[in-house]
Chain A
């Protein structure tokens, strides 16, 4: 399985690197695959590899003592997974599970450190990636603290269709609840409310966004 230079070039970690520099990174990069439902990282365990999603979609989540799941992020192609244990040496703070069949590129922590030394641009890129991650987690805290459930559900629906070309995982009501930090029943109720306001239409296994503007207003986001 060949690691593709074109893909490495497209990911934020390696932005601005020359073809020769990317070639040297490729030596450290390995391809791996995960089946739908496979747990790639388990909260509390140690791990030595950073992953990049090449194709497919993964969810990053935490699980409470009573089994409740909070999804922190849905990771799509080009995005990286597992920075925290790689950079602080601790255990995985979250679990990662493939929502679809997934292809990943991995790089070992020791090889990444070598890459940092040889190509300081990567370190600058990583700072930017991590700042973006903090910004996203702050937005999640804001949503969980201040927004009603129906707004959070509206925002989740909008996020799923934001990238017109990327993969769109199908979401169960349980997964929407885990994203919104609420109970499954509240998601069902919110979908009904959104349908009553004619922002969406439920068509069997499809949620059709019929009025994006109303959905954006409910979500409290601008178009």
Chain B
């Protein structure tokens, strides 16, 4: 299963800005709340996180040292 951005549905105000910036069409509105469609094409551009005014989407990075 591909790692996907994290959505806090309690914070989502349904504005849909994230849908407009998502390059891989991974986001949809379901009953006025944002929902994620799992896709391998999500490139972790983090633009959904950047435009979200209510901090409902986060794209956390794992930080590792190359083996």
Contacts and interface: CB of A to CB of B under 8 A. Distances in A.
Interface of A: 37, 157, 160-161, 168, 170-175, 184-185, 188, 201-202, 204-210, 212
Between B8, B61, B66, the greatest number of chain A beta carbons within 10 A of the residue's beta carbon is seen for B61
Contacts of A206: 61-64
A172 B60 contact: yes
Contact of B61 (A37, A172, A184): A172
Interface in B26-67: 42-44, 46, 49-50, 55, 58-66
A160 B64 CA distance: 8
B67 to A, nearest CB: 9
| Interface of B (DSSP majority class) | loop
Contacts of A37: 8
Contacts of A201: 66
Given A173-B49, A188-B46, A205 B58 contact: no
Contact of A161 (B42, B43, B44, B63): B63
B61 A207 contact: yes
B64 A209 contact: yes
23 contacts: A161-B63, A161-B64, A168-B63, A170-B63, A171-B60, A171-B63, A172-B60, A172-B61, A173-B49, A173-B61, A175-B60, A184-B50, A188-B46, A188-B50, A202-B44, A204-B3, A204-B42, A205-B61, A205-B62, A206-B64, A207-B61, A208-B64, A209-B66
A157 B65 CA distance: 10
A204 B63 contact: no
Interface of B: 3, 8, 42-44, 46, 49-50, 55, 58-66
B60 A168 contact: no
Contacts of B66: 201, 208-210
Contact of A174 (B3, B58, B64): B58
B64 A172 contact: no
Contacts of B58: 172, 174
Contacts of B8: 37
A207 B3 CA distance: 14
Contacts of A168: 62-63
Given A188-B46, A204-B44, A205-B3, A172 B59 contact: yes
A188 B45 CA distance: 10
Nearest to A164: B65
Nearest to B55: A174
A212 B63 CA distance: 12
B32 to A, nearest CB: 22
